[in-house]
Amino acid sequence: MSKNNAKLLLVSSSLLVVTMFVGAGCSSLTNLFNKAAETTADVTASKMTETEYYNKAIQGLNNMSDETGRVQDSYGRFTEATTADTRAITMINVNSTFYDMAKKDMVDDKPVMENAEAQAKIEAKLTPYFSEYKTMLDANNALADYYLRGRYKDDAEAKKDELSGALSGSIDKVFVMQTELFDLIEQYQDKVDLGIDESTTDPLEVITLAQDKITNAAEKVYEDYGVWVEAYNVDTKTADIAPLETDYKTLADTYTTYKTKGEAVNAKDVTIAGSSYTSYMSAVDKFNIKFENLIRDAKGNSIADLVALDEEVVELYNDVIDTHNSLVTSVQSASALPEYNK
């Protein structure tokens, strides 16, 4: 499965450290960045913390991923159109704003962070990704101009296959490279210590632990789902649902554990963060329900429409990542309030 968006990471130094996640959609990627962490004493002021660096990267990549989704949707409508004139109205021109911003932040004005090895490996993937992403934007706009300016009428669509083929190939490459980047950043994110004790009764710290543990478990379920879908497409009878079922049970148990902890500290009532926490837990609950039913149907050989199922799973996963990232931002805002820092 490709990843559309990544999660942000929340982490805490003496009180709270924040980490954002990379994550999904089409990737788990589900989309990743807001680990608002205080700079520790052994990190020089000129260097970013790992959390800050990963979150900065994810914010830029998530914006670019959203734009890739717009390009893909437009091209999908283009391929479904049956006449030249209807193809013309499906196309959109896209600008390079998100690309320019992310490239400036991560390459042109390259930051320096505390983990030089991790940064080098991420940059090794960022460079070709930015290059292919620009190729995709250019290919999209070349096809769009051809149709929106009516040039297809001059040569009876003689350039259609060449232009559309270039765009299709580039979209595929961008999604693969995007998923690889999200996966790499997640590997490093997972090694960052949140610095919060599991026995904490501080509402913001409980929220931070909950979203970290639950989203990690949801990402594993989403990854398992991608493996199962590929196997199911090959042979519906031999596709093994067991790994997915095992990790789903882990997710369900993790959700229940932290839901109980959240209720014990009235997490839903926390200023600013409470409503975001409620939305996040609701998104996870819907994700859980879908997989409970999916596993039951798979074991009973009663999957009716795999395409519709896949679209729903991707949407639900993206909701988990999006609400996770919104919650990260809310926790950061709440932790800055005077009442929290008494």
For residues 16 and 5, give the distance between their C-alpha atoms in angstroms, rounded to a whole number.
Answer: 24
Cα–Cα distance measured from residue 32 to residue 5, given in angstroms and rounded to the nearest whole number: 7
CA–CA distance, 211 with 273 (Å, rounded to integer): 12
Residues 6+ apart with CB under 8 A from 160: 87, 146, 152
Instruction: Estimate the crossing angle of helix 203-234 against helix 306-335, to 10 degrees.
Output: 160
Eight-class DSSP state of 82: -
C-alpha closest to that of 288 among 330, 317, 257, 322: 317
Paired with 17 in beta bridges are 12
| pLDDT tens, N- to C-terminus, the chain (342 residues) | 555 666 655 443 222 333 444 443 333 222 322 333 333 334 344 688 898 899 899 989 999 999 999 999 999 999 999 999 999 999 999 999 999 999 999 999 989 999 999 999 999 999 999 999 999 999 999 999 999 999 999 999 999 999 999 999 999 999 999 999 999 998 898 888 778 899 999 999 999 999 999 999 999 999 999 999 999 999 998 999 999 999 999 999 999 999 999 999 999 999 999 999 999 999 999 999 999 999 999 999 889 899 999 999 999 999 999 999 999 989 989 988 887 765
Q: Check: CB of residue 3 under 8 Å from CB of residue 22.
A: yes
* Domains of the chain and CATH, by start: 52-189 (1.20.120), 196-341 (1.20.1420)
Closest C-alpha to 22, from 339, 280, 328: 328
Of 104, 93, 9, the residue nearest 58 (C-alpha): 9
